[in-house]
């Protein structure tokens, strides 16, 4: 007897193309909420658009507010002004030369969201735009050149000036380049391209923001985490990370690729579908996974057709 077996296999293609939110109504600090989400789901919620805002407000139709994944971490939430990813080789976005004797970055004044190079070439986190923080800056130009501008500007104005006249504020990829910028700075305190910005807990680069007007205000200089406010249609406020709130997690769905397979099998006796599952599909699936497909791959029987006896 011959059987023709039609199989359909679901092969995951890439992760996190889609997501489902979960509301956890147990007040926790932001870090506790993050641990909970990572243990039980994928991570704290990342939002990509207003549909996501609506999904959250419908899930947690509560009063008060709940944590999401956007936060500002003094040690890690740093980005370079040059965003072109091909500018950076492996590991080159994470080169740092913080001043160690002052334990930088220390967020000393609470709002030190930009970075200056000190006269000895080490880095200090520094306010971006206060009267005393207007300093010189070093731009990055064509052919890997570094140019000092001694006009004293805020970090944003320095960035705009470099983008208008050269390529960008100096974004430093390794110690060789740090030395070049140090040389260009010529003993001045200068802004470089590094700045601190709120990042998503799962590392997503979603640029979607839904701040309530006047937010984030970092009042008391200690509001580094983000909450969805139910009384403000799901708009966001910045909050003290050590306060406790309910929170939103998400779980990622994997995208599936669907592949149809046709298999002809010769057998002596007639097989039931259960026997086909056990004797043919299971070993076949093990073989696929053994050959490198993800272990979330599934195979199911679509149709069995007897072609000969």
Residues that bind ligand NAG (CB under 6 A): 35-36, 39-40, 84, 86-87, 89, 92, 99-102, 118, 120, 122, 142-143, 149, 151, 161, 165, 173-174, 176-177, 222, 240, 242-243, 295
Q: How far is the CB of 58 from ligand NAG (least distance, A)?
A: 21
* Shorter beta-carbon distance to ligand NAG: residue 110 or 304: 110
* Shorter beta-carbon distance to ligand NAG: residue 282 or 303: 282
Q: How far is the CB of 19 from ligand NAG (least distance, A)?
A: 18
* Shorter beta-carbon distance to ligand NAG: residue 279 or 289: 289
Q: How far is the CB of 256 from ligand NAG (least distance, A)?
A: 16
* Shorter beta-carbon distance to ligand NAG: residue 87 or 211: 87
| Strand 190-196 to 135-141 pairing | parallel
The residue with tokens 């890690």 is 76
Q: How far is the CB of 278 from ligand NAG (least distance, A)?
A: 18
* Shorter beta-carbon distance to ligand NAG: residue 156 or 243: 243
Q: How far is the CB of 148 from ligand NAG (least distance, A)?
A: 8
């Amino acid at each position: 007897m011959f059987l023709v077996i039609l199989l359909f296999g679901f092969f995951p293609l890439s992760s996190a193309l889609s997501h489902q939110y979960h509301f956890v109504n147990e007040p926790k600090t932001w870090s506790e909420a993050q641990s909970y989400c990572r243990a039980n789901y994928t991570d704290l919620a990342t939002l990509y658009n207003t549909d996501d805002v609506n999904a959250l407000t419908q899930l947690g139709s509560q009063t008060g507010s709940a944590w999401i994944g956007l936060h500002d971490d003094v040690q890690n939430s740093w980005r370079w002004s040059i965003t072109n990813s091909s500018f950076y080789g492996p590991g080159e976005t994470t080169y740092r030369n913080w001043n160690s004797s002052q334990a930088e970055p220390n967020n000393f004044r609470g709002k030190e969201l930009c970075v200056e190079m000190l006269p000895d070439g080490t880095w200090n986190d520094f306010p971006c735009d206060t009267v005393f923080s207007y300093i010189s800056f070093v731009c990055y130009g064509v052919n890997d050149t570094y140019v000092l501008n001694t006009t004293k500007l805020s970090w944003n104005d320095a960035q705009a000036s470099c983008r208008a006249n050269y390529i960008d504020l100096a974004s430093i990829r390794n110690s060789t380049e740090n030395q070049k910028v140090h040389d260009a700075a010529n003993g001045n305190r200068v802004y470089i391209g590094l700045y601190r910005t709120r990042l998503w807990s799962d590392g997503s680069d979603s640029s979607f923001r839904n701040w309530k007007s006047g937010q984030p205000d970092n009042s008391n200089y200690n509001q580094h985490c983000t909450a969805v406010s139910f009384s403000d249609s799901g708009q966001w406020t910045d909050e003290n990370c050590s306060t406790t709130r309910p929170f939103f997690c998400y779980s990622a769905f994997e995208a599936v690729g669907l592949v149809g397979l046709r298999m002809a099998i010769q057998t002596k006796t007639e097989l039931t579908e259960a026997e086909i599952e056990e004797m043919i599909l299971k070993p076949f699936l093990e073989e696929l996974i053994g050959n490198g497909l993800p272990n979330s791959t599934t195979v199911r029987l679509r149709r069995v057709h007897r072609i000969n006896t």
